[in-house]
């Protein structure tokens, strides 16, 4: 977590006798998830910050982040905090603190946002600082973060499932940009991009159909259709009443169903799900049942 949160640590000192810290985390393509616990607490100073945006929550204790003379507290109050760490060079983790956070490198987030608004991101993204944790967007975001962390540790099934890890990363970034309130929300909401012709939408659909089993991003799909990311998303919504990633998910659910019914495929729901880009088995089961009216285990039981 320290290497993910800070590029260069100057000093770190325990607040009580004996520094103790428990850290676990995972990262993929400019996005990382980390859990940290400390009973001693500590005071950390850095000479150079990690240029990123953080979505974090504390289940116990409190963290103080010092940003250009201001102090941003992260409290164990059931809320989610969205922070810009660009100017943070000191953090105090109080005794008996427990936190979990998602970090997205500035370069990664700004690149995704720039594609959506079809313009350079000329200023930092300002998110609403504090929101309620039970908001659906953040429930989903932290469930996906948990899937990434669990999938990249232990047996690490996601390490050998690039379709799943790429899909998870892409979904988390798009969810944060589209599902939260920030300084670019109004620009994102403007519907000024001319709609694509149906043939261009169809080209994107055909590309996804041919490559659904491979790691895909919205940017790659738009490039295949020879249009901008934003134009693709707006036109998909207009003609298909869905987003490109939602359409891709339906294709992958269909592929997973086909494999579960195929006696020649592994008799493992998790292996099939991972192969088709689904890293969280609980979410996969819910999405599958919504699409087909039955659970994956009920489908695989129909094999002949």
Per-residue pLDDT tens digits for 23-48:
888 999 899 999 999 999 899 887 77
Inter-axis angle of helices 244-260 and 198-211, nearest 10: 40
The count of other CB atoms within 10 Å of the CB of residue 206 is 12
- What residues does each domain of the chain span? 10-188, 199-302
Average pLDDT over residues 217-244: 88
SS3 category, 73: strand
User: Does the pLDDT of residue 192 top 70, yes or no?
Assistant: no
Domain 10-188's class?
mainly beta
Write down how long the chain is: 304
Q: What pLDDT, on a 0 to 100 scale, did the predictor assign at position 1?
A: 42
SS3 category, 269: helix
Nearest residue to 279 via CA among 189, 215, 224: 215
Spatial separation of the C-alpha atoms in residues 137 and 145, rounded to whole Å: 12
Spatial separation of the C-alpha atoms in residues 176 and 280, rounded to whole Å: 18
Q: What pLDDT, on a 0 to 100 scale, did the predictor assign at position 8?
A: 59
More confident residue, 290 or 70: 290
User: Does the pLDDT of residue 157 top 80, yes or no?
Assistant: yes
Start-to-end CA distance of the chain, whole Å, equals 48
pLDDT band (50, 70, 90) for residue 296:
very high
Q: What pLDDT, on a 0 to 100 scale, did the predictor assign at position 206?
A: 93
Domain 199-302's class?
mainly alpha
More confident residue, 195 or 233: 233
Per-range mean pLDDT, top range of 17-21, 86-90, 162-166: 162-166
């Amino acid at each position: 977590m320290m290497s993910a949160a800070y590029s260069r640590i100057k000093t770190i000192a325990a607040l009580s006798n004996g520094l103790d810290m428990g850290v676990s985390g995972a990262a993929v393509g400019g996005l990382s998830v980390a859990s940290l616990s400390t009973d001693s607490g500590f005071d950390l100073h850095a000479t150079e910050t990690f240029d990123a945006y953080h979505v974090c929550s504390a289940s116990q204790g409190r963290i103080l982040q010092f940003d250009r003379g201001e102090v941003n507290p992260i409290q164990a109050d059931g809320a989610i905090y969205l922070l810009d760490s660009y100017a943070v060079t000191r953090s105090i983790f109080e005794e008996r603190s427990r936190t979990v956070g998602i970090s997205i490198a500035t370069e990664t987030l700004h690149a995704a946002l720039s594609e959506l608004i079809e313009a350079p991101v000329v200023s930092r993204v300002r998110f609403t600082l504090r929101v309620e944790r039970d908001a659906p967007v953040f429930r989903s975001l932290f469930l996906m973060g948990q899937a990434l962390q669990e999938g990249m540790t232990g047996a690490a099934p996601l390490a050998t499932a690039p379709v799943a890890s790429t899909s998870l990363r892409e979904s988390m970034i798009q969810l944060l940009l589209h599902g939260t309130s920030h300084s670019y929300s109004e620009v994102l909401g403007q519907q000024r991009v001319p709609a694509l012709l149906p043939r261009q939408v169809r080209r994107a659909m055909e590309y996804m159909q041919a490559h659904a089993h491979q790691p895909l991003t919205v940017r790659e799909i738009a490039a295949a259709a020879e249009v901008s990311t934003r134009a693709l998303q707006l036109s998909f919504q207009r003609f298909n009443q869905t987003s490109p990633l939602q359409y891709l998910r339906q294709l992958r659910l269909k592929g997973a169903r086909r494999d579960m019914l195929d006696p020649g495929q592994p008799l493992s729901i998790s292996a099939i799900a991972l192969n088709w880009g689904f890293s969280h088995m609980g979410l996969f089961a819910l999405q599958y049942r919504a699409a087909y009216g039955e659970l994956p285990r009920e489908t695989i039981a129909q094999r002949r």
